[in-house]
Amino acid sequence: MKYDLSGRLVIGIASSALFDLTDGDAVFRERGEDAYRTHQEAHVDDVLATGVAFPFVRRLLSLNDLADPVDPLVEVIVLSRNDPDTGLRVMRSIAAHGLRISRAVFRQGRPSHRFMPALNMSLFLSANGSDVREAVADGMPAGHVLATERIDDETDRELRIAFDFDGVVADDSSERIYQDAGIAEFRAHEVLNVATAHDPGPLKEFLAGINRIQRREDEERRRDPAYRPRLRVSLVTARDAPAHERAVRSLKRWGLRVDDAFFLGGVDKAAVMRALDPHIFFDDQVSHLNGTAPATPSVHVPFGIVNAPPKLTESSVEERMRAER
């Protein structure tokens, strides 16, 4: 019987984002692929420890209790460079941790992101930065899960997700103006175009999928006034007034919503994240994420002008040539 993924929130997850693969990675780097294969076979029943994205995935999947078990709201699919044999440890660890993940794509040594449209995915998460950059370069919505010092999967059932705006939910057209002309021109542009919605960014459809689940929670609360919504979405952006209004209007024009909005105007995002305590935070700027990652599960979305390689000027080309001689 055909299983239809349309209408569901589908995300792809690499095993590197879901679990701590430190031991296997060390074997692969130091002793090569054959030793890695032997190691994984010998440890196939050793359950992998949880990784940075595990609390986010566990909570996201738990929201399927709002729907019929045969018609879930959320689908998580493993996208892996492992081959099927070495992937057995990943799938057994998934089962041991009680995650309802039954679908996987194993591509020995090859990227899997090209299958995202076929699987209706609105997000791919990996701890392999090069895989994520390749996916984004091919137009796919993907994020690099950064290492963190804190993976606190507390017993509270709430799932808190935080998004930056420009280059994440929206495109980077306004960010380009800021980078080229400065803050004054950026603000003037946003005021002039306040009634014009931004073009969507890479994670706009993922937020739309999250909002669909929130609407299901709204229905549940109307049916059962005692029901406490578990999904909370925050916008955390360096925008401030008057540029904030175009962001708010764009979300409304798209039919999307957030529960909280922080228009920080250059205030350090890390301090806000420590108070907000999201289970995952998406931002396109490494400079912000360097501050948040130690205490907050953080995801770099390598999209847009701030992630473009630096332009080579004549002097920089000469300097590079001298360095290479």
The arithmetic mean of pLDDT across residues 69-86, rounded, is 92
CB 298 within 8 A of CB 147: no
Domain count within the chain: 2
pLDDT of residue 311: 66
The domain that holds 167 is classified in CATH as 3.40.50.1000
Residue 250's nearest CA partner among 211, 195, 176, 202 is 195
The arithmetic mean of pLDDT across residues 97-106, rounded, is 96
- Establish if 322 belongs to a structural domain: no
Strand stretches in the chain, DSSP E: 9-13, 74-80, 103-106, 121-126, 142-145, 159-163, 231-237, 260-263, 280-283, 298-300
CB burial of residue 262 (10 Å; 0-12, 13-18, 19+): buried
79 with 187, same domain? Answer: no
pLDDT of residue 57: 97
> How confident is residue 101, by pLDDT bands cut at 50, 70 and 90?
very high
d(CA 24, CA 42): 11
- Establish if 118 belongs to a structural domain: yes
pLDDT of residue 320: 46
| Cα-based distances in Å from 131 to 221, 285, 302 | 40, 18, 11
pLDDT of residue 27: 76
279 with 170, same domain? Answer: yes
Enclosing domain of residue 49: 9-145
Q: Which of 122, 145, 168 delimits the end of a domain?
A: 145
- pLDDT, one tens digit per residue, over 303-316 is 999 998 876 545 55
- Establish if 210 belongs to a structural domain: yes
- pLDDT, one tens digit per residue, over 238-259 is 999 999 999 999 999 999 999 9
- Residue with the bigger pLDDT between 233 and 156: it is 233
Per-residue b/e over 163-185, b at no fewer than 16 CB within 10 Å? bbbbbbbbbbbbbbbbeeeeeee
Instruction: Report whether pLDDT(324) > 70.
Output: no
User: What pTM did the predictor assign?
Assistant: 0.92
- Establish if 101 belongs to a structural domain: yes
pLDDT of residue 204: 98
pLDDT of residue 323: 46
The arithmetic mean of pLDDT across residues 42-63, rounded, is 94
The listed range with the strongest mean pLDDT (42-56, 143-157, 271-285) is: 271-285
The domain that holds 29 is classified in CATH as 3.40.50
Question: Which residues, at least 6 apart from 151, have a Cβ–Cβ distance to it below 8 Å?
Answer: 50, 51, 52, 54, 55, 297
134 with 262, same domain? Answer: no
- Establish if 319 belongs to a structural domain: no
- What does pLDDT average to over the chain? 92
Residue 120 in tokens:
């209706």
> How confident is residue 222, by pLDDT bands cut at 50, 70 and 90?
very high
Give me the residue label for tokens 């941790």: 97
The arithmetic mean of pLDDT across residues 290-308, rounded, is 96
- Residue with the bigger pLDDT between 73 and 155: it is 73
pLDDT of residue 318: 53
138 with 172, same domain? Answer: no
CB 204 within 8 A of CB 256: yes
Residue 97's nearest CA partner among 125, 61, 124, 68 is 61
d(CA 28, CA 94): 22
- pLDDT, one tens digit per residue, over 147-187 is 998 777 777 889 999 999 999 999 999 999 999 999 999 99
